[in-house]
């Protein structure tokens, strides 16, 4: 017999890992490809990375007995997490930023609908007072990335004039949350069992 909450969290993690792996593969392909065809993999890379982030946050919420909000909004999923867990995520995030073998390096992309949108790119050199502020800014900026990038091909007037995605920070954050989720699962001796 297994605890259904733990089992559901483990399944959510494994599915999230699949989305992460595909997102990482596509993001790496976009980074390395020098032709314009790389842009066709951009939207799927963002959607997979963002959905992986969402699933890891939902798994963590299950493990700490928070309700599933049913939201795709990253900031909403993260904001209800207790301070103690956020501190652990921040510690893991800092470790990820110092990893010498960072696959994606410093990798952020912005796409503009107009020709003169330089004013939209004004926050490139922000320096944050703390990792807490950096994570909040990342989550706020990427809060609706799943929806915006999933429908990127439609490019409607109500879409933002600039779409941005920071693959490096997304990767750091996903791995930071994943480390905490895996630690919590390991503490409970959770193993995947399919019957």
**Whole-angstrom distance, CA of residue 149 vs CA of residue 44:** 8
Q: Enumerate the domain spans of the chain.
A: 4-187
Region 141-146: what's the mean pLDDT? 81
Choice among 103-117, 120-134, 152-166 with the minimum mean pLDDT:
103-117
Residue 187: count of CB within 10 angstroms of its CB:
9
When pLDDT is cut at 50, 70 and 90, the band that residue 103 belongs to is low
Closest to 170 in 3D by CA, of 11, 12, 30, 7:
30
pLDDT at 54: 94
**Does residue 122 register a pLDDT over 50?**
no
User: What contacts 36, CB < 8 A, 6 or more positions away?
Assistant: none
pLDDT at 120: 44
Residue with the two structure tokens 């779409």: 163
**Does residue 145 register a pLDDT over 70?**
yes
Closest to 31 in 3D by CA, of 21, 20, 41, 18:
41
Render pLDDT for 66-102 as a digit per residue (tens, 0 to 9): 988 788 899 999 988 999 999 999 999 999 888 755 6
- What stretch of H or E contains 135? helix 131-141
CA distances in angstroms from 162 to 46, 51, 73, listed in the order given: 15, 21, 19
Render pLDDT for 23-74 as a digit per residue (tens, 0 to 9): 999 988 888 877 777 778 888 888 999 999 999 999 999 999 998 878 889 9
pLDDT at 78: 93
What pTM was estimated for this model as a whole? 0.82
pLDDT: is 114 or 177 the higher one? Answer: 177
**Does residue 13 register a pLDDT over 70?**
yes
Percent of the chain past pLDDT 90, that is, above it, reads: 35
pLDDT: is 189 or 109 the higher one? Answer: 189
Mean pLDDT of the chain: 79
pLDDT at 167: 86
User: What contacts 60, CB < 8 A, 6 or more positions away?
Assistant: 9, 81, 85, 177, 180, 181, 184
């Amino acid at each position: 017999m297994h605890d259904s909450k733990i089992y559901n969290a483990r399944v959510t993690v494994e599915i999230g890992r699949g989305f992460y792996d595909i997102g990482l593969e596509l993001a790496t392909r976009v980074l390395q490809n020098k032709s314009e065809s790389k842009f066709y993999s951009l939207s799927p890379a963002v959607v997979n990375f963002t959905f992986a982030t969402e699933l890891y946050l939902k798994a963590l919420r299950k493990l700490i007995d928070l309700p599933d909000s049913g939201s795709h909004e990253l900031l909403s999923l993260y904001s209800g997490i207790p301070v103690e867990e956020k501190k652990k995520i921040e510690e893991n995030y800092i470790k990820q930023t110092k990893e010498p073998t960072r696959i994606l390096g410093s990798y952020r992309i912005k796409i503009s609908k107009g020709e003169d949108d330089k004013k939209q790119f004004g926050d490139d050199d922000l320096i944050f007072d703390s990792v807490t502020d950096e994570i909040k800014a990342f989550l706020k900026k990427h809060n609706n990335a799943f929806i915006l990038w999933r429908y990127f091909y439609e490019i409607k007037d109500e879409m933002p004039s600039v779409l941005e995605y920071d693959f490096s920070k997304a990767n750091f954050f996903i791995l930071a949350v994943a480390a905490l989720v895996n630690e919590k699962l390991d503490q409970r001796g959770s193993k995947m069992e399919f019957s």
